[in-house]
């Protein structure tokens, strides 16, 4: 039985279709990453699956329970950490966990042991008496995760849990998630960080409510036809703008100080880039072929959708 299954799941808000006929399955004990920019529909999908919101049409099952007809059963079997998880700043770390244990109806017997295990698991033992309002962003995320796990959920929903958290804290958070897999917890996580999504077992690329592609990170990367040329130039932002104008939006992406160009024929594209830069007065300081990232794939997929529209 799948941990999560949806069939043509749809949610509209007036004329806006936030989730468009989503059909998806997630296996037990899997980390599934939902990837996409703001407005892609990730948070709406989370709320639908967590039985917080009813769909306009279609169906979803979580841990074997229908999200509309068996909403209470879904709530008992999941942990849900929203983008703005409600920690109480005037309560200590330990008091926040106890508060959520009461909400979830965790029995008093065995609660102390479970709480101490979660504190150790999230590296918060030495901070259990500290007020939540005095924690760093990364520590608040770990506390939110501990609160979401206090009732031992079968499925854990995490809506952009590392958004705005420093890279070191993001790595710590993912180490904790990997430990959860040993307990066979299914993790459904949304993120806008494409590099972070590569840590998941499988991913789904979302854009404007539609699921564009799904598979392992390597499988999704193979959807892209062609090679990636990584370009270094004197003015990366202007270089990317000029290349987009000449080569097409779906072929060019700007990643920091480097420009990536999708090339069906790398040699021919290299000559084309050199000619474009020469005419534009842009200095080419480096050009090489690199392995595609998920960001490259996303740019490519969106470009293909745009040309097919």
Dist. CA 142–CA 169, nearest whole Å: 9
Q: Which of residues 153 and 167 earns the better pLDDT score?
A: 153
What pLDDT is recorded for position 238?
A: 95
Show the beta-strand stretches assigned E in 132-208.
155-159, 186-191, 202-207
What pLDDT is recorded for position 210?
A: 95
Dist. CA 305–CA 300, nearest whole Å: 9
Task: Indicate the SS3 state at residue 32.
Answer: strand
Average pLDDT of the segment spanning 91-96: 96
Q: Which of 43-57, 77-91, 151-165 has the highest mean pLDDT?
A: 43-57
Q: Which of residues 221 and 17 earns the better pLDDT score?
A: 17
What pLDDT is recorded for position 304?
A: 65
pLDDT digits (tens, 9 = 90+) for 226-248: 889 999 999 999 999 999 998 87
Any idea what DSSP says for residue 293? P
Domains of the chain: 4-218 (3.40.50.300), 227-291 (3.30.70.270)
Q: Which two tokens stand for residue 85?
A: 């998880």
Dist. CA 105–CA 63, nearest whole Å: 19
**pLDDT above 50 for 309:** no
178 Cβ contact list (under 8 Å, min separation 6): none
170 Cβ contact list (under 8 Å, min separation 6): 138, 162, 193, 196
What pLDDT is recorded for position 38?
A: 87
Dist. CA 251–CA 224, nearest whole Å: 11
**pLDDT above 80 for 25:** yes
Dist. CA 89–CA 74, nearest whole Å: 28
Dist. CA 8–CA 104, nearest whole Å: 31
Dist. CA 281–CA 284, nearest whole Å: 9
Dist. CA 113–CA 120, nearest whole Å: 11
Strands of the 155-159 sheet, one edge to the other: 78-81, 155-159, 186-191, 31-35, 202-207, 210-215
Task: Indicate the SS3 state at residue 53.
Answer: coil
Q: Which range among 78-87, 204-213, 234-243, 277-286 shows the weakest confidence by mean pLDDT?
A: 78-87
């Amino acid at each position: 039985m799948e941990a999560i299954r949806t069939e043509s799941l749809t949610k509209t808000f007036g004329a806006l279709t936030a989730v468009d006929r989503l059909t998806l399955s997630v296996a037990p004990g899997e980390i599934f990453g939902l990837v996409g920019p703001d407005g892609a529909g990730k948070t709406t999908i989370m709320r639908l699956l967590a039985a917080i919101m009813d769909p306009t049409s279609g169906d979803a099952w979580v841990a074997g329970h229908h999200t509309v007809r068996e909403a209470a059963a879904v709530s008992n079997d999941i942990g849900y950490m929203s983008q703005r998880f409600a920690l109480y700043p005037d309560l200590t770390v330990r008091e926040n966990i106890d508060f959520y244990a009461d909400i979830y109806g965790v029995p008093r017997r065995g609660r102390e042991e479970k709480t101490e295990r979660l504190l150790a698991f999230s590296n918060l033992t030495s901070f259990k008496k500290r007020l939540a309002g005095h924690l760093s962003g990364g520590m608040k995320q770990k506390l939110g995760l501990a609160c979401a796990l206090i009732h031992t959920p079968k499925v854990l929903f995490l809506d952009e849990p590392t958004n705005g958290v420093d890279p070191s804290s993001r790595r710590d958070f993912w180490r904790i998630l990997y430990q959860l897999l040993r307990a066979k917890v299914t993790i459904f996580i949304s993120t806008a960080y494409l590099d972070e999504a590569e840590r998941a077992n499988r991913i789904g690329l979302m854009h404007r409510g539609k699921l564009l592609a799904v598979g392992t990170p390597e499988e999704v990367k193979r959807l892209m036809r062609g090679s990636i040329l990584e370009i270094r130039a004197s003015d990366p932002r202007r270089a990317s703008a000029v290349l987009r104008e000449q080569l097409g939006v779906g072929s060019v992406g700007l990643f920091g100080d480097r420009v990536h160009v999708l090339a069906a024929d790398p040699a021919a594209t290299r000559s084309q880039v050199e000619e474009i830069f020469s005419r534009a007065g842009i200095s080419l300081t480096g050009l090489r072929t690199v392995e595609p990232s998920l960001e490259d794939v996303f740019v490519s997929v969106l470009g293909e959708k745009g040309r097919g529209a």
